[in-house]
Structure 1
Amino acid sequence: MRPLDPRLLTHASAARWFLLVGAVLGLAQTLTVVAFAWLLSQSITLAVDGGSFESLRTTVAALAAVVVVRAVLVWLLEVAANRGAAAVKSQLRAAVLARLAERGPDWLAGQQGARVATVITSGLDALDNYFARYLPQLLLTAIATPILVLVMLWQDPASGITVIIVLPFIPIFMILIGQATQAVQRQQWDALQRLSSGFLDVVGGLATLKIFGRDRRQAARLAELTDEYRGRTMTVLRVSFLSGFVLELAGSLSVALIAVSIGLRLVEGSLLLGVGLFVLLLAPEAFLPLRQVGAQFHAAADGLAAAEEVFTILDDEQPNRPVPAASAGGAPSARTAPPARLRFDSVTIRRGETTPIDGFSQDFAAGRLTVLSGPSGVGKSTLIGALQGFVPFDGTLFLGTDAVAVDDDRGWLAWAGQRPGLFSGSVSGNVALGASVIDEALVTTALHWAGAGDLDPAHRLGVNGAGLSGGQSQRVAAARAIYRCLAVDCPVLVLDEPSSALDEDAEAALIGGLRRLTDQGRIVIVVSHRPAFVAAADAVVRLNEVAHV
């Protein structure tokens, strides 16, 4: 683990801004430390020598002003650190979410969802401690320590040489302690991710576990993971306290060594009182940043461990894929006339050593309801993934007479998948997901066309759409795609198994709504094996036969 990962500066411009501001504030703070030590030593010397009240008052006033300035600088550095942490977290989260969208569901399906979620949320939150406590001390070590050592060498070469000899021992202790801290911190991070994954898995399958009487066994498993995480946390705390004690002891002995040397020379008369006090006041400040870097190293470990995984996601080389359009909202497209067709021309999709789609060529005409059918596993959803830009393919995709570029943003496409993907909030907010302004009239229209006219747009949903049945959730998802189709004027609408949980009446209402879209000259594609959709279709494309009926 590097104290400052260069990738942090590459992926988050706010980190560069913080380093610049922190360096300026660190330099100013170092100058106030030197001024404080000098003025305090002069005040004591004047008082011992019986100096005039006027000269003493002037020195004390200047000392008070320096104390105030130093306090302000410390506050400004803390403010900059907190704001820098917030900006860096925001930029990293935006970058990794964009990267996940670019990779698509195929890549994400091969990852642990809970692990990725933990990294992006609570993992990156640990960067607060890194920026607020660790990085400022790292900056002060790079700026303040060399300056203070040079001032000590200038005023008292013997003390300066002593600091130069003793100072390297602290980094040696830091390296040894850092290795131990890094190991236990990584174990704690792994334990947290196992706990998060286990908890989310249990919550997701709680109903099934309850039915089969397995809920208590999973409760015991979660308790075991919790105890493991608690133990790892206590290990981290023990190492942290030990590291702090060792570094404090090393720093205190180093300062004591300088103090003894100065005291002996003051008694001997070979060193002036003012110089001795000045150097003695600077000695702890020269060691302090380095000691704090070691003491705060554990505070940086969590954030850097999470950032390491974020950088792995961002830097992992994958084929370039376009970012798909959102399911609602966005700026209207520049389409002046609806395209006459959507065409797959010799499209081949490979999955490792298998080829689920081989040389697929098909036209999907405007103003027609086309059903994509076939047995499970034949590649229907894979083909839709290629249409969305999630799945790389060989061949060409045409919209009208124009080939769809690899980096096309799919602004012409509205889509709803097999999983509704609903969120906490109102029904209208879920239907108009992504829209800057919700058109309530359009929400009502979309719900009616999706066969969900009985739902109240103001009805509040819980987490993951709690409060709706499976069929209602499906219809809200279909309404979301219809809303986007109408709001952004998308020429192509794709629904993947939109009626698997619907009864006959709801399915008929949805088919009627899709008919209204085809009447507007749109290309409507439905992946379905339901007899009602197959019967209502203007064209049926059976992937196992690649026949057009």
Structure 2
Amino acid sequence: MRPLDPRLLRYAAGARWFFAAGAVLAALQTVLTIAFAWSLSQAIVGVVEGRSLAELRTEILVFAGTTIARLVVTWASGSVSIRGAARVKSELRSRLYRAIGRLGPAWSAGRSSAGLTVLGTRGLDALDDYFGKYLPQLILTVIATPVIVAVMFWQDVLSGVFVVVTLPLIPVFMVLIGWATQSVQRQQWDTLSELSGNYLDVLGGLSTLKSFGRAERQLTRIRVVTERYRVATMKVLRTTFLSGFALELGASLSVALVAVGVGMRLVAGDIGFGPALFVLLLAPEAFLPLRNVGTNFHAAAEGVTASEDVFAILDEAADAADATATAVHPGGGPSSAATAPAGLEFHDVGVSYDGTTVLSGVSARFAPGRVGVLTGPSGSGKSSLISTLLGTVAHDGVLTLDGSPLPSGPGERPWLAWSGQRPGLISGTVADNVSLGEASVDPDRLTRALALAQLDGWDADRECGVAGSLLSGGQAQRVAVARAFYRALRPETRVLVLDEPSSALDHETERRLAASITELAAGGLVVIVASHRRRLRDIADVELALTPAVAKR
């Protein structure tokens, strides 16, 4: 667990602003601390020597001014920390969501959705303590400690030597404690992710568990993980208290050593009262920032642990983007756009998941104005072939539209309209779901899309509920199909892809939907439908039958 991960500066521009502002404030705070100690020591020396208040006016004014200024700088440091944490969290959260989108569903399927949710919410929120407590003290340590030690050397060489000799003991304690903290903090974070995943799984399958009479058994499972999380949290607290004690003890003994040496030399007359008092006031300030770094490290440990996981995902997405940009796809290349026939073509396309090949050497052409149907048993790769168009899976081979190669990987696809096997509805009205992502709704296009999806007569302001909870399965599926039709009716859309669009429909509704698909194709679209249903196979102009090609590499 590094005190400062350099990837923070690379992935969050707000962090660079935070460090710049923090360095300025730390330098100002260092100057004020030295001025405060000097003015206070000089004022006390003056009182002991019997000087009047008029004679001590300068020292008193400097003391009052530095006291007020230190309060202002402390407030400004807290404000910068809060703003910096909010800005960095926002940037990292946006980058995290974009990275998950770039990595695609195939990557997300192998990870806990609850774990990713916790990482993007509570995990990044834990950076508040990291920016509010830990990093300001780290910056102050880098700037203030060397300056204060240099001033102590200037005033009293022997005291400076004592500080230089004892100061490294605190980092040694911090390293030893950091190793222990890293282990227990990682255990706590992993247990929290597991607890969140278990809870989400139970909620998602609660109706099924109730139906089979197994809901009560999940209480034991959640109780066991909750107890493990409690134990892990108590280990973190125990380590925090023990480390705080060790750091306080080390710093106190170090300051005491300086104080004893100064006192003995003061009695012997080897050092003046003014320099002795000035050094004694500065000695705690030399150890304080470093001691606070160790203390606040534990408050920031959860945020540091979560940020490491975020950086790992961002690195993985960056590596995947680099690999996509430099990849050379095998297989025969497409012909030039000038001579290529219009339509969508697959050239020797293959798809693999974790070394398992599900598609290999698929070559096909789908022409505008015709309906192409993908058929084959479950697991034959129909959805995987569609995913190559969506850019959600890595693939071999080349895809072209009107002879021009299509980009692989995530990105905008204005030429494509698509509806998947799951409706994927959001909480909102029918219009909100159909016009998903558009700033304004085209009422004529909305009406036609609903009619083509066999939802004519529906109120566009009808509520769908979360995930279509207020609709039947067939109604939710038709709303999702209407969304694809709404997009397909735009002038820039060239390809319409439907994955099992009628699996929840009755025969008559399916027949009318098939007629709508044929009507859209007749308008010049490339239409591809993946389906097992006979009614949709009957309207096919081109049928691509896929067979399972599962093989280990």
Give TM-score scaled by structure 1 length: 0.90
| SS class of match (1:54) | coil
Measure, in 2, the Cα distance between the counterparts of 1:96 and 1:474: 30
Give the C-alpha shift of residue 180 in structure 1. 1.4
Measure, in 1, the Cα distance between the counterparts of 2:49 and 2:113: 72
Code of the residue aligned with 2:395 in structure 1: it is: F
Counterpart position of 2:390: 388
Code of the residue aligned with 2:115 in structure 1: it is: R
Structure 1 residues 9-18 or 177-186, which shifts more?
Answer: 9-18
Among candidates 392, 417, 422, match of residue 420 of structure 2:
417
| SS class of match (1:468) | coil
Unaligned runs of 5+ in 1: 324-338
Code of the residue aligned with 2:22 in structure 1: it is: G
Give the C-alpha shift of residue 66 in structure 1. 1.6
| SS class of match (2:65) | helix
Distance 1:225 1:58, change over 3 A: same
Counterpart position of 1:163: 163
| SS class of match (1:53) | coil
1:267-416, aligned counterparts within 5 Å? 267-316=267-316, 317-318=319-320, 340-351=342-353, 354-406=356-408, 409-416=412-419
Code of the residue aligned with 1:278 in structure 2: it is: F
Measure, in 2, the Cα distance between the counterparts of 1:69 and 1:369: 76
Q: Is the 8 A contact 1:322 1:409 kept in 2?
A: no
Measure, in 2, the Cα distance between the counterparts of 1:413 and 1:300: 45
Give TM-score scaled by structure 2 length: 0.89
Code of the residue aligned with 1:378 in structure 2: it is: S
Q: Which runs of 4+ in 1 moved over 6 A?
A: none
**Residues 361-401 of structure 1, C-alpha deviations (whole Å, 9 max, x = no match):** 22212123322222111110111111222233333212112
Measure, in 2, the Cα distance between the counterparts of 1:226 and 1:487: 51
Distance 1:173 1:466, change over 3 A: same
Measure, in 1, the Cα distance between the counterparts of 2:258 and 2:445: 78
Counterpart position of 1:335: none
Measure, in 1, the Cα distance between the counterparts of 2:353 and 2:188: 36
Counterpart position of 1:533: 536
Structure 1 residues 258-267 or 157-166, which shifts more?
Answer: 258-267
Distance 1:505 1:137, change over 3 A: farther
Distance 1:430 1:281, change over 3 A: farther
Distance 1:503 1:536, change over 3 A: same
Counterpart position of 1:478: 481
Q: Is the 8 A contact 1:170 1:250 kept in 2?
A: yes
Give the C-alpha shift of residue 445 in structure 1. 3.9
Give the C-alpha shift of residue 463 in structure 1. 4.0
Measure, in 2, the Cα distance between the counterparts of 1:84 and 1:530: 56
**Residues 206-253 of structure 1, C-alpha deviations (whole Å, 9 max, x = no match):** 111111111000122112211211221122112112211221122222
Give the C-alpha shift of residue 273 in structure 1. 2.4
Q: Is the 8 A contact 1:347 1:396 kept in 2?
A: yes
Measure, in 2, the Cα distance between the counterparts of 1:447 and 1:239: 61
| SS class of match (2:216) | helix
Distance 1:131 1:505, change over 3 A: farther
Give the C-alpha shift of residue 357 in structure 1. 2.6
Measure, in 1, the Cα distance between the counterparts of 2:422 and 2:156: 73
Code of the residue aligned with 1:394 in structure 2: it is: D
Structure 1 residues 258-267 or 102-111, which shifts more?
Answer: 258-267
Measure, in 1, the Cα distance between the counterparts of 2:383 and 2:450: 24
Give the C-alpha shift of residue 134 in structure 1. 0.8
Code of the residue aligned with 1:213 in structure 2: it is: G
Give the C-alpha shift of residue 454 in structure 1. 5.5
Counterpart position of 2:24: 24
Counterpart position of 1:52: 52
Code of the residue aligned with 2:213 in structure 1: it is: G
Give the C-alpha shift of residue 23 in structure 1. 1.3
Counterpart position of 2:123: 123
Unaligned runs of 5+ in 2: 326-340
| SS class of match (2:54) | helix
